[in-house]
Every structure is written in C-alpha cells, then in structure tokens.
Amino acid sequence: MSMLLRTLAVAAFALVACDAYRPPALPTSNVETAPPDPLPDVETPAPISPEVQPVPPAPVQTQLTVTGDVSVDPPDAPTLHEANAITLRYGLVGARGTHQLRLELKTPAGAAYQVFEREIDAEPNTEAVAEFELPVAGTVIDTYNLAGVWTAHLFFDGRELTTRTFELQP
C-alpha cells in the first residue's frame, strides 16, 4: 500500500513540475455581476492650523572655550624615568549641565594607549575643570621607554574639542 502512495506522490510531483501541465480553467458563468459598491464618502480631517502644530525645540548652541595645561610630577623631572605621573588639566567655560568628557591618549608611534572618561556638571558662567592623570613610573611607559611626542584628544559629548601634544624625554 505504501508503494502505491509513493508512486502516486511521485507522479503528482512530476505533473506539477512538468512545464506542459496546466491546471484546468475554471468554468465561466453567464451570470453578470454588479460592480462593487463605491466606498462611502469619508470626510478628510482639516489640517492642523499653524498655531497648534508642535514645534521642536531649537538645538542649544554651546560656545565652549577650552583651556588646558600639562604638568609633570615631580615638576622638575627631566626625563620620563624620573617622572611619577603626567597630569592633563582642562578647563571648559560655556558648558551648562551634565556632559561626558573622553580623553584618548596616543603613544608617539600613534597607537592607542589609554582612554579616560569623566562626567562633568557645569554651572553657567563658571569654569568646569577636569584632570586626567597618566601614571608613568613603573608602567609600560617607563619599562619600554616610550619617549617622544604623545597626543591627547579631548571629546565633549562625543565631539572632538581639542588635540594637545606633550613630549616625554628619554
């Protein structure tokens, strides 16, 4: 019995797959059909008047002034082997509210070395200060003598604000 079913299934598949097979046409009717009823009239709502349309708030344009300096600890360390740390200090005037700062440090060879992230809360008309300390003594910088010009990229809410360089002497 199962052999008969398998044979019928193969035959049906062959007929469907065959390009010469066409299903029989449906019988036509002599009965006329009426056209479909038109859609009922729907009243289109009136457009919103300009006085009522919501207006998105304008983006706040922040005019930022960035200051900064680089200091070595201890201040009189002549080479990177005598330095304990490098401090990068940034001051921002013109920021209001909470913002994200990101400092990306690149080695003299241009490789990414370290990323610092800080959140600042800035008051209007005051300087928001952020300090980033880069340890030197006992780190890869000291061990592998990574002397040369380093690059620091400062980002404010994802947008690059400034690039600063500093040099570590061998």
**What's the one-letter identity of residue 95?**
A
Residue by residue, DSSP assigns 101-134 as EEEEEE-TTS-EEEEEEEEEEEPTTSEEEEEEEE
Could you tell me the pTM of the whole model?
A: 0.62
The continuous run of DSSP H or E covering 37 comes out as none
Summarised one tens digit per residue, pLDDT across range 62-105 is 588 999 999 999 999 989 999 999 999 999 999 999 999 999 99
E strand map for 21-81 = 65-73
**3-55 tens-digit pLDDT:** 544 554 544 444 444 445 555 555 555 556 566 666 566 566 556 555 555 55
Q: 169: Cβ–Cβ under 8 A, 6 or more apart, which residues?
A: 78, 79, 80, 147
